Amino acid sequence: MAVLSPHKPPPEVDRAPRRIAFSQTVGKWDVKLSPYLYISPFFILFGITGLFPLLYTGYVSLFDWHLLYGKGDFVGLQNFVDVVESPSFHKALRNTFSIFLLSSVPQVIMALILAALLSANLRAKTFWRMGVLIPYVVAPVAVGLIFGRLFADESGMVNTILTGVGIDAVRWHAEIFPSHFAIATMVNFRWTGYNTLIFLAAMQAIPRELYEAAIIDGAGRFRQFFSITVPQLRATIIFVVITSTIGGLQIFDEPRMFDNTGRGGSDQQWMTVTMYIYELGWGNQKSFGRASAVAWILFLIIVVIGLINYMITNKISSSGGPKPTKTKKSQTPKRTSSNNRRTR
What is the 3 state secondary structure string of the chain?
CCCCCCCCCCCCCCCCCCCCCHHHHHHHHHHHHHHHHHHHHHHHHHHHHHHHHHHHHHHHCCECCECCCECCCECCCHHHHHHHCCHHHHHHHHHHHHHHHHHHHHHHHHHHHHHHHHCCCCCCHHHHHHHCCHHHHCCHHHHHHHHHHHCCCCCCHHHHHHHHCCCCCCCCCCCHHHHHHHHHHHHHHHHHHHHHHHHHHHHHCCCHHHHHHHHHCCCCHHHHHHHHHHHHCHHHHHHHHHHHHHHHHCCCHHHHCCCCCCCCCCCCCCCCHHHHHHHHHHCCCCEHHHHHHHHHHHHHHHHHHHHHHHHHHHHHHHHCCCCCCCCCHHHCCCCCHHHHHHHC
| CATH 1.10.3720.10 describes domain 93-318 | yes
pLDDT per residue as tens digits for the range 38-69:
888 889 998 998 899 999 999 999 999 888 88
Predicted confidence band of residue 328 (pLDDT cuts 50, 70, 90) = very low
pLDDT tens-digit series, residues 221-260 = 888 888 888 888 888 888 888 888 888 888 888 888 888 8
Average pLDDT over residues 107-119: 90
Ordered by start, the domain boundaries in the chain are: 93-318
With 90 as the cut, is the pLDDT of residue 333 above it?
Answer: no
Mean pLDDT of the chain: 82
Average pLDDT over residues 121-149: 86
Q: Say what the pTM is.
A: 0.76
The answer on pLDDT for 342 being more than 60 is no
